[in-house]
Amino acid sequence: MTTALRRLLAGFTLFLTEFAITLALGTLGVVAFLALGREVFDQDAATFDAAAFRWARQLLGAERQPWVESITFLASRNFISAAACLLINWFLLVRRHRWYSLLVPVVALGSISLNLVLKQLYQRPRPLLPLTSASGLSFPSGHAMISASFYGLLVYLVWTHVRRPALRYALVTGLVALILLIGLTRVYLRVHYATDVLAGFAAGAAWLVVAIPLLKQLEIVVKKRFKTELQSAEKQPV
């Protein structure tokens, strides 16, 4: 077997593997969201949500509300919008990676927009007696969905580009813990049911799994079609 053929087979095998993993994760996220959406108004879900309220209160304690609100703020629209702008500027001006600068707003703004659409479809009111102010509808949780997609994107970037294994695993673990903690704070503050949060995680992860491969393929197509123009643009002084 020639070297060229081996490389072709290796590339094809890698593509099939990535496609299979992407399809499986995306399908799992969609199925989980639809299942939660179907069961959310059943009595079993109500019992689960009530137990989750008690468990979150016992876990975080009754006197930690300021600390909890500072964590939940990390997935607010204002914070995510500011963080996304900083990340876009980093990729545009420092790293000179135009496609990542496109990926960030697609993931962030797409997740926010999709969440608003889903809320209008399900029309679930928020829980009674919240511990902090919250407006709008409840299902799925916007904070959970946005944190799963935006911080999930950071997980992807860290896993792809951080070469030191110890640092890579530490950062990924920290980001995943932050995503879960943000979801927990929404239940603790009684601004979302636990089923809202789980559905938000599923929808955010599904959106991320769809957005990254699509933009990756778009990058490949555009680079092939406009290879000369892009090389000329990169050579020009900034």
Place of tokens 């911080």: 151
Q: State the SS3 of 141-206.
A: CHHHHHHHHHHHHHHHHHHHHCCCHHHHHHHHHHHHHHHHHHHHHHHHCCCCCHHHHHHHHHHHHH
- Give the active site residue among 74, 192, 194, 206: 192
pLDDT along the chain (238 residues), means of 10: 57 49 51 57 71 86 78 86 83 70 77 83 82 81 89 87 87 93 91 89 84 72 57 46
Range 29-36, long-range pairs (CB < 8 A, 24+ positions): 29/202, 29/203, 29/205, 29/206, 29/209, 30/202, 30/206, 32/198, 32/199, 32/202, 33/140, 33/199, 33/202, 33/203, 33/206, 36/140, 36/195, 36/198, 36/199, 36/202
Query: Which pLDDT does position 125 carry in this prediction?
Result: 85
Taking the alpha carbons at both ends of the chain, their separation in whole angstroms is 46
> What is the helix, strand, coil percentage profile of the chain, to 5?
80, 0, 20
Query: Which pLDDT does position 237 carry in this prediction?
Result: 43
Instruction: Give 99's contacts (C-beta < 8 A, 6+ positions apart).
Output: 215, 219
Place of tokens 């969201």: 33
Q: Any catalytic annotation for residue 192?
A: yes
- Give the active site residue among 143, 199, 205, 206: 143
Query: Which pLDDT does position 56 carry in this prediction?
Result: 86
Query: Which pLDDT does position 67 carry in this prediction?
Result: 82
Q: Any catalytic annotation for residue 143?
A: yes
Query: Which pLDDT does position 230 carry in this prediction?
Result: 45
Q: Which domains does the chain have, with CATH numbers?
A: 30-223 (1.20.144)
